[in-house]
Amino acid sequence: MKNKLIVSLSPHVHSGDSVKRNMHGVLIALIPAFLTSLIYFGLGALIVTATSVAACLFFEWAINKFLLKNPEVSILDGSAVITGVLLAFNVPSNLPIWIIIIGALFAIGVGKMSFGGLGNNPFNPALIGRVFLLLSFPVQMTTWPTVGQITSYTDAATSATPLAIIKGLIQKTPGVSLDQLPDSLSLFIGDNAGSIGEISIVALLIGLAYMLYKRIISWHIPVSILVTIFAFSGIMHFYNPDIYVSPLYHLLTGGVMLGAVFMATDYSTSPMTKKGMLIYGICIGLLTVIIRMFGSYPEGVSFAILIMNAFTPLINMYCKPKRFGEVAKSK
């Protein structure tokens, strides 16, 4: 009797990978940045992060259960927790609780669940929530506590961020000088004002190294973003060093590292092919520098990523991998 050839759908060998495993891996990679935020912002960072995570979990559960009537809802895959953490990492540590709850509702309800939930959202939910809060509550979202106030929350003393100083140099604001910028070491370790999770470059690099080691992400998107920002801002600095700061400052300030590592690499909203990832990353880098230097906002990472999220389907359309066994058509 001859053996039967059994044909089935791929994959035939399971790699052991899963959405839950990757989400938990991202959460592990976020731990160094979270611990650093506790060191520099203390109680405020803890309150805002815990509130954001709890609100995201609740809203995802409530929307699934009461609006979508989905009996198989699961909030344990880690995606809602990541949205909550990343939303918190993109806001000041003195943000009032009621504002972060509104941001969580918008991130989950509009940015994620309105499109069908995990894997269907075209835009990064945490960035959707962050930009919504920035446009709705611009004063609260741009009031930055000075680092070192461990037990302070809403009454914390505030200061200007390095990006605000850089924008002041470009706009030739009286009283703003290059001497007001923190040194590179302070920017690298996180001793400067800013959003909760963006201040420490070394903590974010540790997270990047972990995700690359675990193959949760590939190098194409973060490296292409960082190289493009360094090159473009370097050209502008060479053109006029009096108002355009060193490209190193653009890499060490604001949400560049947080966005490049943890948000631009989101599976649902980034291209599938390596070529597409490089195009995507280069465009994000260019848009970030353009907005920072010529736009009205000091920061441009969030807007740049969301803009390129919209172009991801188009990139996927024109950067398709070659099909296995496909024969090229003769002209």
Closest CA to 292 of 254, 261, 258, 262: 254
Comparing C-alpha atoms, which of 319, 300, 208 is closest to residue 254? 300
For the record, the structure tokens of 160 come out as 């200007």
The string of pLDDT tens digits covering residues 16-58 is 567 888 999 999 999 999 999 999 999 999 999 999 999 999 9
C-alpha 121/C-alpha 188 separation (Å) is 33
The pLDDT of residue 285 is above 80: yes
Q: Is the dihedral of CA 271, 83, 301, 186 positive or negative?
A: negative
Long-range contacts of 110-116 (CB under 8 A, 24+ apart): 111/83, 112/60, 112/83, 113/60, 113/63, 113/64, 113/67, 113/68
What is the pLDDT, as a whole number, of residue 151? 79
Residue that has been written with the tokens 């009031």 in this structure: 143
What torsion do the CA atoms of 70, 50, 214, 273 make, to the nearest 10 degrees?
A: 60
- Domain limits, the chain: 19-141, 162-318
CA distance 127 to 184: 27
What is the value of pTM for the model shown?
0.91
Looking up tokens 């060479």 gives 238
Mean pLDDT for the chain overall:
89
Q: How do residues 69-86 score in pLDDT, each as one tens digit? A: 876 666 878 899 999 999
pLDDT tens for each residue of 287-311: 999 999 999 889 999 999 999 999 9
Which residue, among 256, 135, 134, 139, has the nearest Cα to 205 in the 3D structure? 256
201 pLDDT above the threshold of 60 = yes
What distance in Å separates the CA atoms of residue 79 and residue 184, rounded to the nearest whole number? 34
